[in-house]
Structure 1
């Protein structure tokens, strides 16, 4: 597979979660999250990307977000539930990406803030249009996603190597 064809990385923050009296890892989606997750899925479908792999945190709210969003995609990618994504720092998320097989072209990572927003900021050495301004102005709200383009092998993912090509978040 040629590295001349860019890889795509989508960093997708889970939808709005509820705050019941349960451990943080077990928090479910709130009603708004159950509405925003499919909307994010439709926007992901609009990108025209086919994802080879979805990496999803094991937290209840990320699993629920992905279950609702993926139904809107024309192709359901292989999904791996990765506990290292829960509460991960940007550096820990880079380590997860570095382990991907180079057969994977496009990946979506469903995770949490501040790690997801931090990773989008760190990876984006450049941006198209006003994507970076919009992402940082909004603060990467729940159900938002950043789309990055990267030329290289997964083991080479590091700060500044990608281009932020799009950013989307549900209206507040």
Structure 2
């Protein structure tokens, strides 16, 4: 991959969580969440994006989502479990992405709303096709993901510098 190739970011919201009597950080996936996480993994594989890095929140539901989704990918990228992704704002998520090494081309970030949807909105200065309209109509339900592309180094990633290429959400 040449330095002229765009970088890609997939913003992936965790699948549907259960609501047992545990702290929020410890909430596991619901049965439907486990099914949707695997379905999202299949759709991620269909994008053909060769992920170099997965940044995943340390919350139980995000770790379970990624564990199920990554099984559907042709190969497993390096995964970093990052505490700062839990309950992070779009600005905090950008700060984490800005720390990514320049030899990394494609990242999947597994996190939470409202930060994931907010980041998709904030980063995307342009849109291909009807991705923005579909994302606006559906919102960002559990197990949804947005695919964005941008040029330049990770340190240069800031609001409006990416293009929203695609959006997917499980059927309800």
Please classify the TM superposition score into its range, dividing by the shorter chain length. over 0.9
Q: Which residue of 2 aligns with 1:62?
A: 62
1:93 aligns with 2:101: no
CA shift for structure 1 position 39: 0.2
CA shift for structure 1 position 136: 1.3
Q: Which residue of 2 aligns with 1:127?
A: 127
Q: Which residue of 1 aligns with 2:155?
A: 155
> How many residues were matched structurally?
172
Q: Which residue of 2 aligns with 1:19?
A: 19
Measure, in 1, the Cα distance between the counterparts of 2:92 and 2:3: 24
1:168 aligns with 2:168: yes
Structure 1 runs (4+) greater than 2 angstroms displaced: none
TM-score normalized by the length of structure 1 = 0.99
CA RMSD of aligned residues (A): 0.7
CA shift for structure 1 position 2: 4.1
Show structure 2 runs of 5+ residues with no match.
none
TM-score normalized by the length of structure 2 = 0.99
Show structure 1 runs of 5+ residues with no match.
none
Q: Which residue of 1 aligns with 2:4?
A: 4
Secondary structure of 1:166's aligned partner: strand
